[in-house]
Amino acid sequence: MTWRRKRKTGTAGFTLLEVMLAVIILGGTLSVLYRSIIVNIRMIDVSHERQEIAYVFSLGELEYPLRDIEDIEEDAVVDPDSSLKEGYVFERTVDEKEDPEEGVVDDGLYVVRTTVTWGDGRNTEEIVRYMRKVQ
């Protein structure tokens, strides 16, 4: 009597369907991971840009302080200054006030706009403040 061993078929490896399913799952996971890395890199760039803008605003406020000024319309104005940080331009303007109508008391408020421009000049960040002229 001879003993024959039966071969087990189908257990030696993966089927084509299993391999394709694994590749699809791996590809989907990698694409989601790639997208999240790209979004995080963009957020880091935006955060760095915001930090630089805040730094230029601070430098401008130190160089051209708003306190202890006599005439808001003349002393608060700062012509475009690009010497504070390379690639950034600091500027401050005061909106002209219209004379109040007859019988209306002047409120003494002025609109002071501080602007930082960078890049090719199309990128701008602005802070708007109201100042009262002390009489």
Residue 135 has pLDDT above 70, yes or no: no
pTM of the predicted structure, to 2 decimals: 0.69
Residue 109 has pLDDT above 90, yes or no: no
Has residue 118 been placed in a domain? yes
Which structural domain range is residue 31 located in? 16-132
The phi and psi torsions of 115 (rounded to 5 degrees) equal -125, 140
pLDDT band, very low/low/confident/very high, at 30 (cuts 50, 70, 90): very high
pLDDT for 108: 77
Higher pLDDT among residues 12 and 122, named by residue = 122
pLDDT band, very low/low/confident/very high, at 24 (cuts 50, 70, 90): very high
Number of domains in the chain: 1
Has residue 90 been placed in a domain? yes
Place of tokens 């005439």: 71
Has residue 125 been placed in a domain? yes
Both structure tokens of 109: 């408020």
Has residue 3 been placed in a domain? no
Has residue 4 been placed in a domain? no
pLDDT for 28: 96
Has residue 105 been placed in a domain? yes
